[in-house]
Amino acid sequence: MFPAGCSMRGLLIWSVLLGAVLGKEDFVGHQVLRISAADEAQVQKVKELEDLEHLQLDFWRGPGQPGSPIDVRVPFPSIQAVKAFLEAHGLGYTIMIEDVQSLLDEEQEQMFAFQARSRSTDTFNYATYHTLEEIYSFMDMLVAEHPQLVSKLQIGNTYEGRPIYVLKFSTGGNNRPAIWIDTGIHSREWVTQASGVWFAKKITQDYGQDFTLTAILDSMDIFLEIVTNPDGFAFTHSKNRMWRKTRSLTTGSSCVGVDPNRNWDAGFGMAGASSNPCTDTYRGKFANSEVEVKSIVDFVKSHGNIKAFISIHSYSQLLLYPYGYKAEPAPDRDELVWPAEAPSTGPTARASSTPTPSSSGTRGAMASCCRPPRSSPRPRRRGWRFGPSWNTP
């Protein structure tokens, strides 16, 4: 808690000043526009906009089917040009976020107000965001509190030398079949690391209480990597809240980082991945070039008994499954969409309504959790969309 007498306004000023002192990238005047493209011709126009690199647009939800909303963060210097372009082509839009920086300031203020370090996972604040150090300390507390159930493995070191940790939930056995879950491979998707922290706590609470989880852990292990891109995550806290990639250097380019979710050795360089190091979807020079990716690949391969691999992303409401770089449905498509059929509050889909990939082939895939690629017709059910995913190793 913050000290008595320290007003929220004071905190805000403090956090803004602190941001300025630390040299954080600011997003003052950046707006997020929601664009509606009514038909294919209008979708094409938005794609033209997407290709205008100098505008530095950040598509949170890219152009897809006509009628699907398109969300884009527009830097202040580009706002006039973008709005003029949209108006010239009859594209409707609304301003979803007037000023991105004011939301980030609120976020900082909230984190600052609740930054008190907890001594146990019971008093840990699950309702605010945490730094890398706080999450790593949470992991250690959880392991100390449940040594019979939880252990911490280090599967590698990041490009910048940070340890890469995975929590193992196991009730015994030897190399049992296992479920892999990772959160935060895209560092700016903070709600996913926060969800990972919550999953970890929930698993320890529910074991022995919840029938399904207990049954799973009695026969399987769960591996959970909460901070899958630690360098990127640290950078989102210290310098640039919108950082998504790793922090590796690319020879021959001044641009930093690789999209780790385009770096897997599966359809490398195909749908939805860029060869330009300056883009947010840069695939890297070669598959598994990123140590954060390679560490997972090595771990999964050496384990040899991973039965499910789940990667959590944020922003869109999408359930994605492999493989997105080609158009054919996965052979086990029916099984893959099955989990979506059960909960009434979650996504609902039937195998028969699973998307028909577009004739454009590879672009029909959901190449990105956050940036749907072009031409990806698929049905909507209760606001969720379904399709193959690029992001499985």
Q: Are 286 and 273 in contact (CB under 8 A)?
A: no
Least distance CB 391 / Zn ion (angstroms):
8
* Total residues at interface with Zn ion (CB under 5 A): 4
**Encoded amino acid at 232, one letter:** G
Beta strands in the chain (DSSP E): 31-36, 58-61, 69-74, 92-97, 150-157, 163-169, 178-183, 221-225, 306-312, 318-322, 380-381, 384-389
| Residue span 357-386 as binding mask against Zn ion, x where in contact by CB under 5 A, dash where not | ------------xx----------------
Give CA–CA dist 152/167, Å, rounded: 5
Least distance CB 375 / Zn ion (angstroms):
20
- Residues paired with 309 in a beta bridge: 180
143 versus 256: smaller Cβ distance to Zn ion: 256
Least distance CB 100 / Zn ion (angstroms):
18
186 versus 283: smaller Cβ distance to Zn ion: 186
Give CA–CA dist 37/92, Å, rounded: 7
291 versus 370: smaller Cβ distance to Zn ion: 370
Q: Which of the residues 156 through 195 are near Zn ion (CB under 5 A)?
A: 186
Helices 230-238 & 132-145 angle (0-180, nearest 10): 130
Least distance CB 370 / Zn ion (angstroms):
4
139 counts as binding Zn ion under rule CB under 5 A: no
Q: Which of the residues 295 through 314 are near Zn ion (CB under 5 A)?
A: 313
Q: Which of the residues 236 through 295 are near Zn ion (CB under 5 A)?
A: none
Report how far Cα 139 is from the mean position of its chain's Cα atoms: 20
Least distance CB 313 / Zn ion (angstroms):
3
178 versus 366: smaller Cβ distance to Zn ion: 366
146 versus 186: smaller Cβ distance to Zn ion: 186
Place of tokens 């409707």: 92
Q: Are 63 and 46 in contact (CB under 8 A)?
A: yes
Q: Which of the residues 81 through 120 are near Zn ion (CB under 5 A)?
A: none
Least distance CB 143 / Zn ion (angstroms):
27
Give CA–CA dist 229/292, Å, rounded: 7
124 versus 323: smaller Cβ distance to Zn ion: 323
Nearest residue to 258 (alpha-carbon basis) of 278, 282, 234, 241: 282
Q: Which of the residues 312 through 331 are near Zn ion (CB under 5 A)?
A: 313
313 versus 326: smaller Cβ distance to Zn ion: 313
**Which residues bind to Zn ion, rule: CB under 5 A?**
186, 313, 369-370
